[in-house]
Structure 1
């Protein structure tokens, strides 16, 4: 069922551009029809105009273009005689023996093995044997009998050349249209995949390396592109081509055409067997490609750590293991293809020609025989043409299976439940936040937050402190609805956040992370994120408010200074200031600082503290901080331990309690910690 579903979905994407595909198939049909007319024309030239002179000739008394003068009489081929012709009494027949041609005045009732002795022709066919008196034609006389056939042959050749030009034109149009449709399909699919990645829940990325996801968007969709560009184009082309050939063969000889039809079930059975065997290898190959992308991405991201801790050899071993497995499975698939694809076609070709020889072997090949030379030529020509599409189909089976496996992986990603996009406008918050008995677990078993309750009023600054793993970041994740709570409720201005669209919920929130992420672009675009509502003036104002203008104005391009991936050319403090400006430019009602000052020097921290005192007016601000000195002025400090709020109050109130907060503060101040009973 899975493969059928995949096939239907691939067809659905193809039908989005069905007009282009239909035009391409129509052009392909015209091209095939024009191309396959060739053997029929060749048959006509051979049977009617080249060896056709062996037909009976009758005497005519009138002279025209079809009449030939021989022994002072005009003769015309019986097939060319018209109603207006006046006939004489004589009738002749021309017979070829070896390279010479002879004329007899008698009618030949049968044909067979021919031999000449003097002026006597003997024809033997089994027990039948007849002799005829003949006259040998000289070169001039023979040319005279061929003369009426030259013009029709030239016309047929011209017609054939014209058909070849027409076929070439339509083949070009077909290829152009099919490739255009294929590229459009993949463009649409990649857009869908990338858009869906923006909608899948954050927890989808928790256990999946970025490299593996990138592999699905790039490598797997590229394999699917090959499906539309090469595989399906080849199957369409070959299918129409083979249909045209079989139609032509039935026109020539129905019995032999029925025999050649056995090729179709053989190809179908072979395709099914091949897919069954190759599917296993292709799944493993695509998985290893994803794993390789994942380890490469991880190695690039962690290169400083790899070198600092001398992990180069270990990393290389891990890579080599995956690379060797990929190589092994590729070789197994290559062996399967090598043993079967070309061998299968050659076997089928040879068997078919054996049948052809057997079928025609006992029959006379002449004008009087059952099968003419032209018929035989056309049949051989069509059979040769038949095996080209067969070869093309068999050679594309490997690519078909790779594309099918890649399609399953892409559709598996698209099937991940995404967040619905909601365009409704949500009024700007007042900023009143309330957690009411909130509990949450990442794995559904172990709670990382246990019965959390607190309230932050408009304009207040709430600080979250605690040791690593105490649940500080989890509270922020729930506030942003990166994850949904298990029990309890979170309210903003009296509205339950679980009932609000995620996009609109986050619209009036801003966040600054400990390790800020900058995109490739400029400083200005990293602040505005190319939001048309945020003007250049607003960007500059935000950067000035956080004090970033001090270093920006020293840069060559100032606000238009290029930023490389992750802002690698800027210091940690400079990246953090830009991240602050980004949050402020969006004018959030709720501002979250997730250990935002952890990587900033004391001077920069003082600058940010001064800026924050100005910009946090009218905003509810949540601060996750390890440096307790940065949250002295917070309206409310929540001390977390193992997912629970163990203390809450202002800086002074918590110091007076001499509890956990007091101990943490004393440790950071470097003072002796008194034992608190």
Structure 2
């Protein structure tokens, strides 16, 4: 099956909110259309009204709309004459030479270079020359000829300003819609990523620091948010804007518009080249950010060790190495951006203006025709507008590449094979657990468990003892299906656990760890984990059963006392009691105590032992313990060594065998043991 590309997957996320995006694009199109009408209006004002005063004028019989009184006669622009006007033989034309206006009683045959000498206008166009007698206009006369143009100019300027307001309104709507869609997309993506983290197998976290995973959920998704809000919004806006400008240019001059279209493949080629050059740096930058986050997270968690063993200097040096590498790659990317982005736009802009001057200048030299000022203004205005979106696109290339690399990292996490989430519930176990010839390896080559076989019946307490690395925790990991086995079988109530969905399997299991984890919240919420099926009364009963009420009821808010991150304001014993109450509140059929009494004092241990005697009835209990005093009453004790069960029996039986269990027992009693087989 062909792997879906990053771009396509980003597009698929965008399609989730396509209605909002489509509305935004419609608003953008209207805004661009309203904005780009401006130069056409300006061209009309300049050519038809401001420069239109130089158009041919004819004498009319009487004063009418748009007529002008001059030398006891009435004149009207030829283009304004209607059927109701009675035209006489008089003619005149206004000519501007420099800053001075003249009037002649003839219509110019052609236009070209103008000069005035001795009340005579000389017009040269190529080899042609024409002369006309002229009279200089005074200020009042000139204002009179401009009088009929004032109202149209005001109307057109009002239209121009109105269109700018309309464009601003639609631009606001576009920005709001696109940003809303972008925030929704990232909200959905972060939910997907965080939800997927809950489903990936435990082994995914074995070799990945928490900070690196956090970086993907926060920093990388934030970079993708910038992609949707800034980068894609800029590309959409610029694309529609440039399309509108090119359409306007084709209306003005097809040949020049075709020349300016060459900008499109140039920009496209540059995007391809830039992405190839910037990709390597962006990958390295995102990796270093992830490494820095991982190290910061590790340093904060290990701060007591860093201080105690005076590792401050070494830790700072390690951090500075990562920070320096990040700085180096950022500088290289910055150099690439500085060298190319603005320089490219300036080269394109200047080159285009050279073409514009050459094109219009060539028309004048070849006597093809003088370009109107309005036309020239419109072209310059559109070309200036054209390079703003070009600049925006080029300036967003760096952000685009960063977002693309961040997307790859996020989708790499989402592509990790996750556990299927099974809905519903299963009946509570009886609690019969059986391991049959179970062997297991974390790396696929070195077995940490070898041919493990034992049976724990309902209501029994099974203790697992052995030196560090003997395989005790691995047995519990397999029972919870944190890992799956390839050799042997594990059954609960006769059913192979590999055939039970993980969520269902763990519904009726509880665990208390050596180092209990408490979440930010309250004592009550840490016991119930906000499970609506567990009432406050059940929470309080569980806490009382383990004896935690003795210290809780002395707290200011008692059971609603706030718990900060990891419960650092509580003692190790207090945290352990809350963790134990959490397991009891969920009423598990199978209860696991993983070194649960290792970090607590003797008095607290005694409290837990009393609670255990109450709650273990009807439950199968597994105890991993180094303190052999806590497992004296276990129904079955399994002694592990290098992944194998070397001894089994109850406390008295194992002591009588005088084997490894006896040796551990004597060592804990502080007695010297020799010649123990």
TM-score normalised by the chain length of structure 2:
0.98
Pair 1:432 & 2:432 matched:
yes
Equivalent position of 1:478 in the other structure: 478
Tell me if structure 1 keeps the 8 A contact 2:439–2:452. Answer: yes
Partner-residue secondary structure (3-state), 1:419: coil
Equivalent position of 1:237 in the other structure: 237
Equivalent position of 1:185 in the other structure: 185
- Note the 1:95-494 alignment, pairs <5 A: 95-364=95-364, 369-494=369-494
Structure 1: stretches of 5+ with no match in the other structure: none
Question: How far apart, CA to CA, are the structure 1 residues paired with 2:147 and 2:587?
Answer: 95
How far residue 370 of structure 1 moved from its aligned partner, in angstroms, is 4.0
Pair 1:541 & 2:533 matched:
no
How far residue 453 of structure 1 moved from its aligned partner, in angstroms, is 0.6
Question: How far apart, CA to CA, are the structure 2 residues paired with 1:83 and 1:443?
Answer: 99
Equivalent position of 1:33 in the other structure: 33
Equivalent position of 2:17 in the other structure: 17
Pair 1:47 & 2:47 matched:
yes
How far residue 84 of structure 1 moved from its aligned partner, in angstroms, is 2.7
Tell me if structure 2 keeps the 8 A contact 1:441–1:486. Answer: no
Could you give the per-residue CA deviations for residues 487-538 of structure 1, whole angstroms, max 9, x where no partner exists?
Answer: 0110000111001100110000000000000001111100000000111110
Question: How far apart, CA to CA, are the structure 2 residues paired with 1:388 and 1:130?
Answer: 44
Question: How far apart, CA to CA, are the structure 2 residues paired with 1:18 and 1:547?
Answer: 57
Tell me if structure 2 keeps the 8 A contact 1:110–1:368. Answer: no
Instruction: State how many pairs are aligned.
Output: 676
Could you give the per-residue CA deviations for residues 397-443 of structure 1, whole angstroms, max 9, x where no partner exists?
Answer: 00000000000000000000001110131100000000011110000
Change (3 A) 1:593 1:459: same
Equivalent position of 1:611 in the other structure: 611
- Note the 1:492-503 alignment, pairs <5 A: 492-503=492-503
Could you give the per-residue CA deviations for residues 307-339 of structure 1, whole angstroms, max 9, x where no partner exists?
Answer: 111111110110000000000000000000001
Question: How far apart, CA to CA, are the structure 2 residues paired with 1:488 and 1:417?
Answer: 24
Question: How far apart, CA to CA, are the structure 2 residues paired with 1:445 and 1:485?
Answer: 13
TM-score normalised by the chain length of structure 1:
0.98
Question: How far apart, CA to CA, are the structure 2 residues paired with 1:167 and 1:616?
Answer: 73
Question: How far apart, CA to CA, are the structure 1 residues paired with 2:396 and 2:4?
Answer: 19
Question: How far apart, CA to CA, are the structure 2 residues paired with 1:11 and 1:269?
Answer: 22
How far residue 369 of structure 1 moved from its aligned partner, in angstroms, is 3.8
How far residue 108 of structure 1 moved from its aligned partner, in angstroms, is 1.7
Q: Which moved more, 1:104-113 or 1:622-631?
A: 104-113
Equivalent position of 1:633 in the other structure: 633
Question: How far apart, CA to CA, are the structure 2 residues paired with 1:344 and 1:590?
Answer: 69
How far residue 3 of structure 1 moved from its aligned partner, in angstroms, is 10
Structure 2: stretches of 5+ with no match in the other structure: none
Question: How far apart, CA to CA, are the structure 1 residues paired with 2:654 and 2:137?
Answer: 127
Question: How far apart, CA to CA, are the structure 2 residues paired with 1:261 and 1:489?
Answer: 70
How far residue 655 of structure 1 moved from its aligned partner, in angstroms, is 1.1
Question: How far apart, CA to CA, are the structure 2 residues paired with 1:549 and 1:149?
Answer: 92
Partner-residue secondary structure (3-state), 1:88: strand
How far residue 664 of structure 1 moved from its aligned partner, in angstroms, is 1.1
Tell me if structure 1 keeps the 8 A contact 2:53–2:145. Answer: yes
Partner-residue secondary structure (3-state), 1:478: helix
How far residue 106 of structure 1 moved from its aligned partner, in angstroms, is 2.2
How far residue 62 of structure 1 moved from its aligned partner, in angstroms, is 4.0
Question: How far apart, CA to CA, are the structure 2 residues paired with 1:4 and 1:240?
Answer: 28
How far residue 368 of structure 1 moved from its aligned partner, in angstroms, is 10
Question: How far apart, CA to CA, are the structure 1 residues paired with 2:435 and 2:473?
Answer: 15
Question: How far apart, CA to CA, are the structure 2 residues paired with 1:62 and 1:448?
Answer: 113
Tell me if structure 2 keeps the 8 A contact 1:509–1:589. Answer: yes
Partner-residue secondary structure (3-state), 2:473: helix
Partner-residue secondary structure (3-state), 2:207: coil
Partner-residue secondary structure (3-state), 1:421: coil
Question: How far apart, CA to CA, are the structure 2 residues paired with 1:530 and 1:562?
Answer: 14
Tell me if structure 1 keeps the 8 A contact 2:112–2:370. Answer: no
Moved beyond 4 Å, runs of 4+? 1-4
How far residue 626 of structure 1 moved from its aligned partner, in angstroms, is 0.5
How far residue 547 of structure 1 moved from its aligned partner, in angstroms, is 0.4
Question: How far apart, CA to CA, are the structure 1 residues paired with 2:368 and 2:287?
Answer: 65
Tell me if structure 2 keeps the 8 A contact 1:516–1:576. Answer: yes
Tell me if structure 1 keeps the 8 A contact 2:27–2:170. Answer: yes
- Note the 1:49-88 alignment, pairs <5 A: 49-88=49-88
Q: Which moved more, 1:534-543 or 1:117-126?
A: 117-126
How far residue 63 of structure 1 moved from its aligned partner, in angstroms, is 2.7
Pair 1:564 & 2:564 matched:
yes
Equivalent position of 2:621 in the other structure: 621
Root mean square deviation, CA, Å: 1.5
